[in-house]
Amino acid sequence: MSVIIAPSILAADFGNLQRDCEMVNNSKSDWFHLDIMDGVFVPNISYGMPIINKINEVATKTLDVHLMIIDPERYIETFKNVGADILTVHYEACPHLHRTIQHIKSKGIKAGVALNPHTPVNVLDEIISDLDLVLIMSVNPGFGGQKFIESSVQKVSKLKKLIESKNSDVIIEIDGGVNLETGKKLAEAGASALVAGSFVFKSDSPTETIEKLKQL
């Protein structure tokens, strides 16, 4: 099965948001990746509901929402209303992770957990069977265009082993510094979904770049 490609809208041209969303619709990509930052959990603020509503209006593909916010539980209903199909919260932002995951699933949304680069995969041992997706951050969250942390490839292998030991079919998604070179290593290590921001939107032909990623 080919890898799922999720272009990160953070790197799109917000002056031409509709055009860039239509490019994603018409490309070989699978999902829209939406990065929500609160300026507290991460040192940056991205975009909020008016923009997400617009993306939802135009997008014809799965909305994969990555919440880099504290107490994400407060916003689960809101994100359901703006069309989130997958809602991923950070392990580091959720003291009651099991409750938060059940809350997301009770709304009929797929639930994911993201791990910062310093967080080991084994913290998910007791919850992995409840998840639809694990997101491994291969940069420190907060900004697009950062350098890929090489040890993330090994982390994917470790996560794959953990998932296999539980006979689960959780999606392994990677976010940060993905390009053809890092993407290939990640796909070989067991990644099933790749997020790519700058590499797609700053390229001469985003559509062709997506096609190349899709062939990994």
Catalytic residue positions, numbered? 35, 175
Residues 64-123 that bind Zn ion (CB under 5 A): 66
Q: Shortest approach of Zn ion to residue 150 CB, angstroms?
A: 19
Beta bridge partners of 172: 134
Q: Any idea what DSSP says for residue 27?
A: S
Q: Shortest approach of Zn ion to residue 64 CB, angstroms?
A: 8
Closer of 42 and 153 to Zn ion (Cβ): 42
Determine if 88 is a binding residue for ligand DX5 (CB under 6 A): no
Strands in 116-184 per DSSP E: 133-137, 171-175
Q: Shortest approach of ligand DX5 to residue 157 CB, angstroms?
A: 21
> Beta 193-196 vs 4-7: how paired, if at all?
parallel
Q: What 3-state class would DSSP assign to 30?
A: coil
Q: Shortest approach of Zn ion to residue 178 CB, angstroms?
A: 10
Residue 199 interacts, among Zn ion, ligand DX5, none and using kind-specific CB cut-offs from 5 to 8 Å, with: ligand DX5
Inter-residue contact 101 to 131 (CB < 8 Å): yes
Residues 132-151 that bind ligand DX5 (CB under 6 A): 139, 141-142, 144-146
Task: Note every long-range contact of 204-211, with CB atoms under 8 Å and residues 24 or more positions apart, other chains counting.
Answer: 206/7, 206/20, 206/23, 206/27, 207/23, 207/26, 207/27, 207/28, 210/5, 210/7, 210/24, 210/27, 210/28, 210/29, 211/27, 211/28
Residue 90 interacts, among Zn ion, ligand DX5, none and using kind-specific CB cut-offs from 5 to 8 Å, with: none
Residues 165-194 that bind Zn ion (CB under 5 A): 175
Q: What 3-state class would DSSP assign to 81?
A: helix
Residues that bind ligand DX5 (CB under 6 A): 8, 10-11, 33, 35, 66, 139, 141-142, 144-146, 175-178, 195-199
Residues that bind Zn ion (CB under 5 A): 35, 66, 175
